[in-house]
Structure 1
Amino acid sequence: MIAWKRKEEWLELPLPNPDWKPLQPSAVEAMSALIPVPRKLFLRLASQGGIRVQGGKALLHLFPRESAAFAPEYCELDIAYEDDFCLVVNKPAGMSIHPAEAGQQGTLASAVAYYYASTGQACAIRHIHRLDQDTTGAVLYAKNEWAHVLLDEAMREKRIDRTYAALAQGVFRAKRGTIDAPIGRDRHHSGKRRVTPGGDAAVTHYRVKQQLKGAALVELELETGRTHQIRVHLSHLGHPLIGDTLYGGSAALLKRQALHGKQLRFPHPLTQEQIVVQASWPEDLQNLLSALQAK
């Protein structure tokens, strides 16, 4: 593993070779032998004096002080993972990732802004993926532009794995399977999606972990990240999520969809080590599962 050190706003690394200079034509390729390098960002940093050679080390200006751009709001956050490059927050139910309109309060973006400010971190808010307002679980943030570029690339290349737990209605005929059905907008409901031949490709893998009386505990993994994908696909299969009234679920036992992002696996943007983060279940889903198991 590469030996790196943070020095305030700078990242210190060993030189790729004794003659390395950040503005020479081979600089990107030489540095890429040590760490993942976003080429455009590297060249911009080099042209602006953001990469230096000092005392036999390379210094990269990766941690400039930035504005969060969201008004900080206090909220007790469940931090599942954190280092100099990444933050994973276990999002509670009822909280949007970011404001949908001007002046909206109570979003995760504002809560993360408060967390950064209260811990002395001058970071912009950069989420890598989203969860629905009433879905709980792990949300990944990049804490600087370098990490953001690399994690966005990893997401596009499907190198970030997201595992979900759900409580779905009914008795599943197959204990595992793949739902490969395109998803598009519902013409009759602006906030709803549906399976439609003209939609975007969407693939969900599922496994029934425990069949219960009239419901099932299901584990799901996404190949794609369409809006409401799990909710739409399970409803299409005939097993809407408990509480998901938008897609045919009953709210008798729960007033929100029973869906939780339980695990994230992603390559660390600097070391490329596989980081696996677990997000603990919220109390309402734990109580619902216990009640279903007791039937």
Structure 2
Amino acid sequence: MKKFSVTAKAYSDTTAADLLAEKCAKAGIELSKIKIKNLMKQGACWTKSAKPERIRKAKYEIKRGQTIKLYVDPNIAEFDMSTVECLHETHHYGVYYKPAGLLCQGTKYGDEYTIIREIHKRTGREPFLIHRLDKETAGVMMIAYTKKAARAFSQQIKNHKIQKTYQAEVKGKPEKAKRLESVIDGKNAILEYEVKKYLEKTALVEVNLITGRKHQIRIQFTELGFPVMGDPRYGKGNVNDTGLALIASKLVFDDPWRSGNLVTIEVPQDKRLF
């Protein structure tokens, strides 16, 4: 089913849900008021302004002359958010396990099934992304709970002070260990890997990510001729039945509030590739 949007302008003071329901009724759009309220809760309603803001409350007051917009994507599937696990937490930040298939943050169509929204609901605090994982990639993610923590960890990322380790299964048999350097989107991309085990037609590798470019591991191993198994976007002949065989397995970082205290967080054993 196709995505669509509903734009509604208020000609008198009203509520967001009433305005959208009236607009849908007049336009012959089959969206019940209950469905509209659910979409609003899921973060799909926005003010139409220079700086759009999400409207989640059905009774949000809309003044005469204001315009709001509801974005509808019928293809968004429910996700079992109980599979998001907190692995380590302090007052300033948390490290979480993000399962494969879950977005880090939302879009204009909503943010209900994202790790950032889930953490906000659990903690009641505004979370800040320090780094991202692809939707298809499972693994450890650091989330800051304060702007101060976000700045501190962002600086560590910038200075390559946070060690990010991945596990992957790649097609073929690459050489035992190698440093890969290339350019992705005009920026240097560097990683180092070591083969941990050769299988019949694939290899299990551990990757130390030096830089953090979008899809970096997936792109660089494809360029090398050994694409990640199960990758829906990169490589040929690397289809499998279990999805992308790539996991962010470990984070090592310095806790800014305990200077010199290196913290190591790994995914649970049952979620690792090896």
* TM-score greater than 0.5 by the shorter chain: yes
Within the candidate set 93, 96, 108, 1:86 is matched to 93
User: How far off is 1:171 after superposition?
Assistant: 1.2
For residues 70 and 128 of structure 1, do their structure 2 counterparts lie closer, same or farther at Cα, with a shift above 3 Å needed?
A: farther
* Cα contact 1:260–1:281 (8 A) shared by 2: no
> Counterpart of 2:181?
180
Please, which runs of 5 or more residues in structure 1 have no aligned partner?
Answer: 1-68, 118-122, 185-198, 290-295
Report the residue type matching 1:75 in the other structure. Answer: M
> 1:149-195: per-residue Cα shift (whole Å, max 9, x none)?
111111101100100000111012x20001101112xxxxxxxxxxx
- Alignment map for 1:60-75 (pairs within 5 Å): 75=81
Q: List gaps (5 residues or longer) in structure 2.
A: 1-53, 57-78
Shift of 1:245: 2.9
> Quick one: which amino acid aligns to residue 201 of structure 1?
N
Distance in 1 (alpha carbons) for counterparts of 2:199 and 2:103? 31
Aligned length: 197
Classify 1:282/1:241 alpha carbon distance in 2 versus 1 (closer, same or farther; 3 Å).
farther
Equivalent residue, structure 1, for 2:70: none
Q: Distance in 2 between matches of 1:252 and 1:70?
A: 41
2:173 and 2:203 in contact (8 A); partners too? yes
8 Å CA contact retained: 2:112, 2:118: no
Partner SS, residue 218 of structure 1 = strand
Q: Does 1:271 align with 2:258?
A: yes
Q: Equivalents in 1 of 2:241, 2:253: separation in Å?
A: 31
Q: 1:258 to 1:274 in 2, by over 3 A?
A: same
Q: Separation in 1 of the partners of 2:100 and 2:183?
A: 27
State which of 170, 174, 191 in structure 2 corresponds to 1:204. 191
Residue among 202, 205, 211 paired with 1:224: 211
Task: Mark the CA change 1:86 to 1:140 in structure 2 (over 3 Å): closer, same or farther.
Answer: same
Give the Cα–Cα distance (whole angstroms) in 2 for the partners of residues 104 and 138 of structure 1.
20
Task: Using the TM superposition, give the Cα deviation of residue 221 of structure 1 relative to its aligned residue in structure 2, in angstroms.
Answer: 0.9
Q: Which residue is equivalent to 2:45?
A: none
Instruction: Give the TM-score normalised by structure 2.
Output: 0.67
Going from structure 1 to structure 2, the CA distance change for 1:95 and 1:145 (only over 3 Å counts) comes to same
Higher mean alpha-carbon deviation, 85-94 vs 249-258, is at 249-258
For residues 251 and 205 of structure 1, what CA distance do their matches in structure 2 show? 21
Where does residue 163 of structure 1 map in the other structure? 165
Cα distance, 1:137 vs. partner? Answer: 0.2
Question: Which residue matches 1:129?
Answer: 131
Q: Deviations over 1:96-130 (max 9, x none)?
A: 1001334243111111112213xxxxx21111100
The equivalent of 1:103 in structure 2 is 110
- Tell me if the contact between 2:227 and 2:238 (Cα under 8 Å) persists in the aligned partners: no
Q: Distance in 2 between matches of 1:251 and 1:114?
A: 38
Name the % identity: 27
Q: 2-side partners of 1:112 and 1:251: how far apart?
A: 34
Which amino acid in the other structure matches residue 100 of structure 2?
A
- How far apart, CA to CA, are the structure 1 residues paired with 2:224 and 2:150? 35
Partners in 1 of 2:253 and 2:224 — Cα distance?
29
Cα root mean square deviation, aligned = 2.2
Amino acid at match of 2:130: I
Give 3-state SS (helix, strand or coil) of 2:134's partner: coil
Q: Within 5 A, what are the aligned runs for 1:34-53? A: none
Residues 282 and 92 (structure 1), Cα distance of their counterparts in 2 relative to 1, 3 Å cut: farther
Query: Which residue of structure 2 aligns with residue 150 of structure 1?
Result: 152
For the 8 Å contact 1:74–1:111, the answer to whether it is kept is no
Q: Distance in 2 between matches of 1:281 and 1:131?
A: 19
Distance apart, 1:143 and its partner CA? 1.4
Residue 144 of structure 1 and its aligned partner are, at CA, apart by 1.3
Q: TM-score, normalised by structure 1?
A: 0.62
Partner secondary structure for residue 110 of structure 1: helix
What's the CA shift for 1:281? 5.5
Give the whole-Å Cα distance in 2 for the aligned partners of 1:252 and 1:233.
18
